Amino acid sequence: MSEVIHADHHDDHAHGPAKGLLRWLYTTNHKDIGTLYLWFSFTMFLIGGVMALVIRTELFQPGLQFIEPEFFNQMTTNHGLIMVFGAIMPAFVGLANWLIPMQVGAPDMALPRMNNLSFWILPFAFSMMISTLFMEGGGPNFGWTFYAPLSTTYAPDSVTYFIFAVHLMGASSIMGSINIIATILNMRAPGMTLMKMPMFVWTWLITAYLLIAVMPVLAGAVTMMLFDIHFNTSFFNAAGGGDPVMFQHIFWFFGHPEVYIMILPAFGIVSHIIPTFARKQLFGYTSMVYAVASIAFLSFIVWAHHMFTVGMPLAGQLFFMYSTMLIAVPTGVKVFNWISTMWRGSMTFETPMLFAIAFVVLFTIGGLSGLMLAITPADYQYHDTYFVVAHFHYVLVPGALFSIIAAVYFWIPKWTGKMYDESLGKLHFWLSFIGVNVTFFPQHFSGLAGMPRRIPDYALQFADFNMISSIGAFIFGFSQVFFLYVLIKTIRSGAPAAGRSWEGAKGLEWTLPSPAPYHSFTYPPEVKNEEVHG
Amino acid sequence: MKKQILQTLAGALAFLASGVALADELNMRVGVTDISRQVYDLHMTIFYICVAIGVVVFGVLFWSVFRHRKSLGAVPATFHESTKMELAWTIVPTLILIVMAVPATKVLVAMYDTGGEDMNIEVRGYQWKWQYKYLDEDYNNSFSFFSNLATPKAQIVNRSAKTENYLLEVDEHLRIPINRKVRFLVTSEDVIHAWWVPDFGIKRDAVPGMLNELWAIVETPGIYRGQCTELCGKDHGFMPIVVEAMPEAEFDAWYATKVSSEVVRQESMTKTFTHDELMVQGEGIYGTYCSSCHMANGEGVPPVFPAIAGSAVAMGPRDDHLSLVINGVSGSAMQAFGKQLDPVQLASVVHYQRHAFGNDAGDISQPQDVINLSNGQ
Ligand code: HEM
Ligand SMILES: [Cu+2]
């Protein structure tokens, strides 16, 4: 650790951030931009969360109590879009910005100005999308999957703004990915070979390729929508010879890799936290890397499992059923490796570890329901019911989101130089854990009992489960506001943190002092074997 | 101590599993077709496999969490790979998947066994109702009707108590016979909907421009309820599906009367009606379709629902009046009735409006006029 501090002292030109608010507008520093991404994501998370609570309030009891069906649809749509594109994805990009340069021993991202641009596009994209809610005719109301022709011929006028917002988000993601790939491939410190890279770097490298591969496909889909709406083409309009089902193929060719974009970096995070608190090296580093790569590959050939009921030939159904089932194998490998890492370790249960263990358990539950959904004949019964809602919330909330929260607790001492309050962190964990399960576990049952998703009102037999779900949602919502409090308290008055903030922590970032200096690794560090995971 | 915890855990999971298997409200319905039972069995098989995987995986995890903690003095081991183990947990899951894939493939193949059907019904989704059309080659004609949500608005907005089949009742059931292979041809008029009857184990998207096939042989008479399961706009939650499976003889009798009244109806399309006939039919239709807004006395509720009595339309050119009723007034509560009512009904209700409530247009509307108008002549 000391060598690195000395190395920093050699840098005579070391300077801190610029003064004033404009710093944030002009910054090209990976740490500043990481911070911007993370706060942006948290803001979006709270906005999307409020929408979720509007939905759960309306669903607390059967009957229409608070909002009209039309507005309900706008809430479900915008909740989904904001959480996926505004909360989860930017949070991972923020973490990538903060961590990847420090973890590979680089001074900054490879393309700092583009980095600034790819962040600053986002507030405009989302302001535009959210502003449509206040336009005449309302905002997007066709679900986050925006199936045509509901999203074209039958869409509100504001759909054009939505399309433009999606284009902007896509541009931002593509630039972010190019930057991450360029950084990882070109800026590793000498000695950091590919197979010595930390898992978070590996997972992001693969995620970035997925993003570059599928974001243009999404852009293509919305462009065809734009043409159908304004220029009288008929890509998705059956009356003009088009095909609404083609929209779904294109959407899910983007959409399924997209769901893995939201989980692969989470795999990386958990692969750092579990070894740290088990005080034991990550089990099966090599197979972890190969598992991520195979998941990424498979994610391109399973898309139509979202479309089993659309009417495909038997051979197609079988192909997509088998390929989807196959994804369970590499996913299982990851889970087994995490558990083997814990096995015969010497574990402690600080907040990041609690979130990481909950991740392993609850993500696995989501994976198992995913396996059930892969079984085509059974999926006919599950599809578009709350069973699917339960599935993807299990993989996304205690999956992707818990990993992000775990990452924040894990690295916040490095970012701020301050330690969070452990008992508040644990309280936050238990509230979130209870909240998430009370919200989403009962949805398996309401789905099996036959409750369709995306409905503002429901038959009486679903009443109990919906009430429980709504109560859970409010517990969960409250606990995330509490998280904000914990964060602010840490930043304001947390106890000073050591450079290596956790006993078992390994990796170049922990060789830096806490908080990490504004410019770190201006000279490449030595990559010592004891800092390497694999 | 740890053992106890583990046992309790396993017990709890097993309890949960059996609870799920038993309770009706918690689980998939077994249903009333051979296919739905096969699907249910498949569902339970994979569910139990998943529970077993869960018990093993979480068992090991929690064992580790309870035993291998620093506070108990655990010293970390140093192993970090094992080719044997890694091979094992790649191969064993693959085998389990094959065990699941075999019955899944069988059921799927059985479901795709279309053909040999005894009757065909076209199911057409509309925003936000279903239309059912019996396709019958014997009679060289077919008859169809709409099936609308029948739950009163007052229940939905909580002004009156919700009844048993809240949101799951319609004005006219789809009727089918038991023990016969009924083929459903599913399509849509506007956006994508999905037609699902859980008790039959079948669900298919209704896609505009596409005809999807489904079939069922129902074994038990009864009323089976489902809902639209693809987001289709504002009232997606309010377009239920109700199918009544009837004993064969009962169905045949019902079908025969339906068909003969259909024959009469078809013939009446080319008929010329007298003023009195039109007034009688028209009054009935007015009562069903118009009077909720325009009021029984034709006074309406201006300005939202205009009066018919003395209205410029009812006293103006006849064809304008007919087209307004056929096409509706967009952006208002006035629907396009051209899709719901047939030419005889349209002609009589318009004729009625022009000659009731003190109106006296002095002309006559015939089904042929409606047909001509619809054909753009
Ligand atoms: C073993 C792994 C998984 C399998 C086998 C699997 C399988 C499936 C299947 C078959 C569906 C379609 C269900 C239907 O609509 O009827 C589905 C939906 C979904 N899955 Fe997964 N899944 C897995 C993991 C994941 C992961 C890791 C994520 C995200 C982090 C995810 C996110 C989603 C989402 C968002 C949907 C619903 C999309 C929508 O219709 O709105 N899944 N999954
Ligand atoms: Cu998928």
Range 124-163 of B in CB contact (< 8 A) with A? 127, 155-158, 162
Residue A8 burial (CB < 10 Å; 0-12/13-18/19+)?
middle
Taking alpha carbons only, the member of A419, A411, A427 closest to residue A481 is A427
Distance CA B25, CA A450 (A): 9
Taking alpha carbons only, the member of B262, B228, B230, B226 closest to residue B245 is B226
Share of chain A above pLDDT 70, in %: 97
Number of C-beta neighbours around residue B29 at 10 A: 18
Which pLDDT band, with edges at 50, 70 and 90, does B13 fall under?
Answer: low
* Residue A398 in contact with partner chain B when CB distance is under 8 A: no
For residue A320 the two structure tokens come to 């997509």
Closest-CA residue, ligand 1 atom 26, reads A395
For residue A50 the two structure tokens come to 């409020």
Ligand with minimal distance to A398 CA? 1
β-sheet with B174-177: strand ranges across: B174-177, B240-246, B222-227
Number of C-beta neighbours around residue A281 at 10 A: 21
Distance CA A169, CA A85 (A): 7
Distance CA A113, CA B365 (A): 74
Number of C-beta neighbours around residue B211 at 10 A: 12
| Torsions phi, psi for A135 (to 5 deg) | -85, 165
Which tens digit of pLDDT belongs to each residue from A443-455? 999 999 999 999 9
Which pLDDT band, with edges at 50, 70 and 90, does A21 fall under?
Answer: confident
Cα-to-centroid distance, A312 and ligand 1 (Å)? 19
Least confident of A235-249, A321-335, B131-145: B131-145
Q: Which residues of A448-480 are buried (b: 16+ CB within 10 A; e: fewer)?
A: bbbbbbbbbbbbebbbebbbbbbbbbbbbbebb
Give the count of alpha carbons within 13 A of A183, CB side only: 32
| Catalytic-residue membership of A533 | no
Cβ contact, residue pair B46, A371, below 8 Å = yes
| Catalytic-residue membership of A514 | no
Average pLDDT, chain B: 88
Which chain B positions have a beta carbon within 8 Å of A287's beta carbon? Answer: 81, 86
Which pLDDT band, with edges at 50, 70 and 90, does B139 fall under?
Answer: low
Average pLDDT estimate for A248-267:
97
Average pLDDT estimate for B178-192:
94
Q: Give yes or no for a contact between A534 and A285, defined as CB atoms under 8 angstroms apart.
A: yes
Question: Distance from first CA to last CA of chain B, Å, rounded?
Answer: 88
For helices A351-374 and B34-67, what crossing angle results, to 10°? 160
Q: Give yes or no for a contact between B34 and B201, defined as CB atoms under 8 angstroms apart.
A: no
Taking alpha carbons only, the member of B24, B50, B375, B58 closest to residue B198 is B24
Q: What are the C-alpha distances in Å from B251 to residues B114, B138, B243, B247, B262?
A: 22, 17, 13, 6, 16
Cβ contact, residue pair A460, B164, below 8 Å = yes
Cβ contact, residue pair B104, A357, below 8 Å = no
Exactly one of A196, A249, A426, A453 is catalytic; name it: A453
A500 secondary structure, DSSP code: S
HEC sequence for A95-159: HHHHHHHHHHCCCCCCCHHHHHHHHHHHHHHHHHHHHHHHCCCCCCCCCCCCCCCCCCCCCCCCH
Region for residue A143 given its phi and psi (left: phi exceeds 0; alpha: psi -120 to 50; beta: otherwise): left
Task: Indicate whether this model's pTM tops 0.95.
Answer: no
* Residue A329 in contact with partner chain B when CB distance is under 8 A: yes
Query: What pLDDT score does B268 carry?
Result: 81
**DSSP reduced 3-state for A280:** coil
Which pLDDT band, with edges at 50, 70 and 90, does A19 fall under?
Answer: confident
Amino acid identity at A33: I
For residues A60 and B271, the model is more confident at A60
Which tens digit of pLDDT belongs to each residue from A507-516? 999 999 999 9
Which tens digit of pLDDT belongs to each residue from A475-500? 999 999 999 999 999 999 999 999 99
Amino acid identity at B136: D
Query: What pLDDT score does A216 carry?
Result: 97
Distance CA A59, CA A466 (A): 6
| Torsions phi, psi for A500 (to 5 deg) | -95, 95
Q: What are the C-alpha distances in Å from A527 to residues A5, A102, A180, A523?
A: 15, 12, 20, 12
Cα-to-centroid distance, A59 and ligand 2 (Å)? 26
Which chain A positions have a beta carbon within 8 Å of B74's beta carbon? Answer: 344-347
DSSP of B256-320: HHHHHHHHHHHHHTT----HHHHHHHHHHHIIIIIHHHH-TTS--BTTTB--STT-HHHHS-HHH
Number of C-beta neighbours around residue B244 at 10 A: 17
Number of C-beta neighbours around residue B311 at 10 A: 18
Share of chain A above pLDDT 90, in %: 92
Query: What pLDDT score does A11 carry?
Result: 46
Number of H helices, E strands in chain A: 18, 2
- Residues B43/B44/B45/B50 CA torsion (nearest 10 deg): 90
For residue A168 the two structure tokens come to 């902007």
Interface predicted TM-score (ipTM) over 0.85? yes
User: How do strand B222-227 and strand B212-216 relate by DSSP bridges?
Assistant: unpaired
Choose one of A305, A309, A329, A448 to mutate for the ligand 1 pocket test, by most ligand atoms within 8 angstroms of C-beta: A305
Flag whether pLDDT at B103 surpasses 50.
yes
Is the beta carbon of A373 within 6 A of some atom in ligand 1?
yes
Question: Which residue bears the tokens 């959407």?
Answer: A251
Distance CA A225, CA A248 (A): 12
A396 secondary structure, DSSP code: I
Distance CA A141, CA B367 (A): 40
Mutation for testing the B interface, residue in A67, A310, A320 having most B CBs under 10 Å:
A310
In sequence order, the 6+-apart residues with CB closer than 8 A to the CB of B47 are A372, B17, B20
Distance CA A142, CA A151 (A): 6
Query: What pLDDT score does B302 carry?
Result: 80
Flag whether pLDDT at B181 surpasses 50.
yes
Which atom of ligand 1 is nearest to A399's Cα?
30
User: How do strand B222-227 and strand B240-246 relate by DSSP bridges?
Assistant: antiparallel
Which pLDDT band, with edges at 50, 70 and 90, does B296 fall under?
Answer: confident
Distance CA A100, CA A183 (A): 8
- C-alpha A409, offset from chain centre: 16
DSSP of A162-211: HHHHHHHHHHHHHHHHHHHHHHHHH-PPTT--GGGS-HHHHHHHHHHHHH
Q: Give yes or no for a contact between B239 and B192, defined as CB atoms under 8 angstroms apart.
A: no
Cβ contact, residue pair A377, B167, below 8 Å = no
For residue A49 the two structure tokens come to 């969360």
Q: Give yes or no for a contact between B323 and B373, defined as CB atoms under 8 angstroms apart.
A: yes
- C-alpha A28, offset from chain centre: 24
Flag whether pLDDT at B334 surpasses 70.
yes
Distance CA B311, CA A52 (A): 48
Cβ contact, residue pair B203, A326, below 8 Å = no
Distance CA A507, CA A500 (A): 10
Which pLDDT band, with edges at 50, 70 and 90, does B143 fall under?
Answer: confident
In sequence order, the 6+-apart residues with CB closer than 8 A to the CB of A138 are A70, A71, A74, A132, A156, A158
Question: Which residue bears the tokens 């079948």?
Answer: B202
Question: Which residue bears the tokens 């006219």?
Answer: B172
Which tens digit of pLDDT belongs to each residue from A289-345? 999 999 999 999 999 999 999 999 999 999 999 999 999 999 999 999 999 999 999
The sign of the CA dihedral A320, A321, A326, A328 is positive
| Catalytic-residue membership of A305 | yes
Amino acid identity at B321: H
Average pLDDT, chain A: 94
Question: Which residue bears the tokens 């029948």?
Answer: B150
Q: Give yes or no for a contact between A484 and A42, defined as CB atoms under 8 angstroms apart.
A: yes
Flag whether pLDDT at B142 surpasses 90.
no
Distance CA A518, CA B179 (A): 76
| Catalytic-residue membership of A306 | yes
Distance CA A276, CA B177 (A): 65
Is the beta carbon of A400 within 6 A of some atom in ligand 1?
yes
Q: Which residues of A9-43 are buried (b: 16+ CB within 10 A; e: fewer)?
A: eeeeeeeeeeeeeeebeebebbbbbbbbbbebbbe
